Amino acid sequence: MESLTVRPVLSKADEKKFIRFLWDLYGNDPLWVPPLMMDRQKLIDKKKNPFYAHSDMELYLAERGGKVVGRIGAIINHNHNKEHGENIGFFGFYEAIDDQSVANALFDTAKKYLRSKGVTAMRGPANPSVNDEYGLLVDGFDRSPVVLMTYNPRYYATQFEKYGLKKLKDLYAYLLSQDTVYSERFVRFNDIVKQREGLTFRSINMKDFKGEVDRIKSLYNKAWSKNWGAVPMTDAEFDALAADLKPVVVPELIIMAESKGKPIGFALSLPDINVALKYNKNGGLLSGLFHLYTKKKKIDLVRIIVLGVIPEQQKTGAAGVLFYETAARAKKLGYKYGEASWVLEDNIMMNRAAEMMNGERYKTYRIYEMAV
């Protein structure tokens, strides 16, 4: 067998190989959704992605006989360590053929880089952060991923665990159906809390997009400040994310919540554009836009990406009412299903809210960690 080498990504040509390996690995998988090449390039571009203003990253390619057989990124997120008082590194963008020796070589390389930076542990997968695609799919391999969620072969969990990575935390995805979401208990709960807390809701005002983004940014950083692993987004990160999402948002599904006139939370849901992008086999931008336009009517699911309220409201039931408002609006727009993802396994209030809506916990993602 030809020898295996792992080397850093050093050029634009290497970056293209790094991204294109996805097509080598998943090209024949009917459930895989090809990403837009342009989006993947922007995600790893240290000049264009504001995440790298406060983080270090090295990307690596594993090759055998001149052919790419794996890839990985080693990441130091300094804002994470500052926020949580930790001294850890992350790994991400992991992909590999079904060969443990390739997995071992990739993890060895990432670990060596992280150790050289003085951190004590390696956590992941993070692509490249908690605010991006996060976690390894370990349960629920029978469906395509929804927008901005990860997808991977079943054997990855075995590769991770054989190397010595251990489960740190599970993240859940719930499938909600308009046919079962409105239980008598949930409708009654919604009416009681809404009246008691003086809750009102409004859609985002697209004519004041910048102002709305600033309001959401403030709410987001307050509402998620105590969440496990959460890292406040910088202004530049938030603005870049907003610009990326603007073309695909449905204003009625970005909901601002107020209690007695004071902003207390928001929910962001996106149509599952993966339903259309699944047909975009080459990952091109123009062909992707074509499929988004022509397959729009096939999209019958929305993903509830972000839903939360400020700490003072987190035990009032307001988040559950935001769930209800999201479901009602999605129904009016003709969407049959929703995915609430992801929810931390130990987030009691959010899991309870999903269960109250008769949500089916149908996918599990896992974060792993090991000492370096």
Domains of the chain with CATH codes: 4-169 (3.40.630.30), 175-366 (3.40.630.30)
Confidence of residue 86 (pLDDT cuts 50, 70, 90): very high
One-letter identity of residue 5? T
Q: Average of pLDDT values for 72-81?
A: 97
pLDDT of residue 312: 87
pLDDT of residue 169: 98
Using the predicted structure, report yes or no on whether residue 179 has a pLDDT greater than 80. Answer: yes
CB 355 within 8 A of CB 231: no
- pLDDT tens across 334-348, in order? 999 999 999 999 998
- Cis status of the peptide bond prior to 342, with omega within 30 of 0: yes
pLDDT of residue 353: 86
Confidence of residue 4 (pLDDT cuts 50, 70, 90): very high
Q: Average of pLDDT values for 266-285?
A: 96
CB atoms within 10 A of CB 120: 12
**Cα gap 216→258, rounded to integer Å:** 12
- pLDDT tens across 191-218, in order? 999 999 999 999 999 999 989 998 898 8
| Residue 125, CB-side half-sphere exposure with 13 Å CA sphere | 24
Mean pLDDT of the chain: 94
pLDDT of residue 5: 97
**Cα gap 162→318, rounded to integer Å:** 43
Evaluate the CA torsion angle 175, 177, 180, 185 in order and state its sign.
positive
pLDDT of residue 1: 67
- CA-closest candidate to residue 122, choices 87, 85, 89: 89
